[in-house]
Structure 1
């Protein structure tokens, strides 16, 4: 899949295309329905399918004091658009100046002149242009005037239920309901980041962890302990390795921590050296809230139970604590 970040990146011989437009944060099931329709029509017509997306998130640009935490990183978004079958993605750098374009100007200058749209596929609630003045009716009207077709898909969501949306995913993650979030997304919620050094308390207790932290992680689920997978790329291949992990989210109240982190302990592994490596963490099930215990022994008993429950949730063999002396990470 091609990724274009400036108009100069667009091939001169692009020809006509089928275009869909959206932030596509998380690329949830509603997005997938729109993308599938875009790809289907592009292939039927023998044209290029193009997804126009925006970075940073428009809501963050318009309200910088209340930035939106993304459900997925831009790189993951691009990967998922590729997996959906899209031929090319235009990542439009979103600014307040860009947002001043009228709805008609956006359609004429970007969709038609720049991306050569012969068909535009969007959800029926799509809005565009300055102050979101453009809607499906205007898009259809402009299509008749400028020579492109329009498909407006009906609101997409659960039967007789709520519409699938990134907002819904954020609400579910805020209360730790990663299982329902996975239903909306169509896959487990994922965080991606670089493994950094922590206080190494887990290593001393027999639970070495890969630590992720920072705003760039995106939408972190509510504090608690989760069962999930640590996912790492296999060098020199396009494959990924999924390692069963007990995942702790929070500030570590047992040791009076203040910084919120994501710590993943891979079951039974003392031989992993992940520092500096970019990894992903997939959340499968919330096991319990984050609490403080009266003693370290009480914490250890609960962590042993967390390991057993993680193995049960993931359908993998149970593993106990590792020997701190065998941990190879430095």
Structure 2
């Protein structure tokens, strides 16, 4: 898959089949569309293209700094690449871009830059300035500019009762199992290991403190989770705390700390992808460090039991 931010760099000799959307989460519903896109491209000897937008339109049009996305644009790109897609075209979303009329969007982006010969789109898709145009308008533009429109019907969409909104709500509630079922894979976070306060080390539970630079990345509900990471080509399991460490701190700043099982190596400065597998409990404030350590031992026991049960 080729990632394209400057559409002028696209080979003008190629012709494409395009689908359009934010694709936050790349969930089971999205995966169905992607499969259709890739198969159609092969059958028609076209190149498959996902046209997506970044930043999220709400960030730009509503100045919604509080919007949280399931994936960063880099995470989304990595997952889309696994679908067999030829091109991921990332259109920078600006206020100026949002003012394009529907016909200008079709002519300048879909036709002139992406050389679209077919567009696969949902029955309820709206586009152009103020989202004023719909799939019927797109069909008329297709007749004018020489591309076909393939509709993803309501039946097709509803057959997979999944949405990015449902996944966000599940994550915010700490329901990792439901979120992962909707996604079809484990929700993950990506960050860099930084130096912490070494409190875990004092408790014989040293942790990797994860820093996530993208403020728009959705972090699930505070609590303790069973997790997995690929480190030096090995699957390493552990438990992760998302929270403010109320037993040892009065700070309201959220931290993400992972204790890996049966693992001892220097991770400072490393970039890690953490898959979230199971939620153990809420974060709690304990009366003493001994009480906290006892709870960590229980968490480890429960985590190891979950890992052995699910990895047979």
Q: TM-score range by the shorter chain?
A: over 0.9
Q: Offset of 1:293 from its aligned partner?
A: 1.1
Match of residue 248, structure 1, among 223, 226, 241: 241
SS of the counterpart of 1:245? strand
Distance in 1, Cα, partners of 2:128 & 2:198:
50
Q: Is structure 2 residue 265 aligned with structure 1 residue 267? A: no
Q: Offset of 1:62 from its aligned partner?
A: 1.2
Distance in 1, Cα, partners of 2:46 & 2:269:
41
Q: Offset of 1:144 from its aligned partner?
A: 2.2
RMSD of Structure 2 on Structure 1 (CA): 1.8
2:11 counterpart residue number: 11
Alignment of 1:1-330 (within 5 A): 1-13=1-13, 15-155=14-154, 163-214=161-212, 216=214, 218-232=217-231, 234=232, 240-256=233-249, 257-269=251-263, 271-315=264-308
Relative to 1, partners in 2 of residues 1:158 and 1:206: Cα closer, same or farther, differing over 3 Å? farther
Distance in 2, Cα, partners of 1:290 & 1:47:
51
TM-score normalised according to structure 1 size: 0.88
Larger mean Cα displacement after TM superposition, 202-211 or 147-156? 147-156
Q: Is the 8 A contact 1:244 1:316 kept in 2?
A: no
Relative to 1, partners in 2 of residues 1:100 and 1:169: Cα closer, same or farther, differing over 3 Å? same
SS of the counterpart of 1:254? coil
TM-score normalised according to structure 2 size: 0.93
Q: Is the 8 A contact 2:58 2:64 kept in 1?
A: no
SS of the counterpart of 2:17? strand
Q: Offset of 1:67 from its aligned partner?
A: 3.7
Q: Is the 8 A contact 1:125 1:136 kept in 2?
A: yes
Q: Is the 8 A contact 2:190 2:212 kept in 1?
A: no
**For each residue in 1:36-71, what CA deviation from the matched residue of structure 2 results, as whole angstroms up to 9, or x when unmatched?**
111010000111101111111111111224442221
Structure 2: state its 5+ residue gaps: none
Larger mean Cα displacement after TM superposition, 79-88 or 122-131? 122-131
Aligned residues: 307
Q: Is the 8 A contact 1:194 1:279 kept in 2?
A: yes
Larger mean Cα displacement after TM superposition, 308-317 or 185-194? 308-317
Q: Is the 8 A contact 1:211 1:262 kept in 2?
A: yes
Distance in 1, Cα, partners of 2:36 & 2:157:
16
Q: Is the 8 A contact 1:254 1:291 kept in 2?
A: yes
Q: Offset of 1:140 from its aligned partner?
A: 1.9
Relative to 1, partners in 2 of residues 1:134 and 1:231: Cα closer, same or farther, differing over 3 Å? farther
Distance in 2, Cα, partners of 1:315 & 1:151:
46
Relative to 1, partners in 2 of residues 1:134 and 1:314: Cα closer, same or farther, differing over 3 Å? farther
Q: Is the 8 A contact 1:213 1:260 kept in 2?
A: no
Distance in 2, Cα, partners of 1:92 & 1:220:
25
**For each residue in 1:105-158, what CA deviation from the matched residue of structure 2 results, as whole angstroms up to 9, or x when unmatched?**
111211111101111112222221111112222222222222111112134567
Structure 1: state its 5+ residue gaps: 235-239, 318-330
Relative to 1, partners in 2 of residues 1:158 and 1:310: Cα closer, same or farther, differing over 3 Å? farther
Q: Is the 8 A contact 1:5 1:92 kept in 2?
A: yes
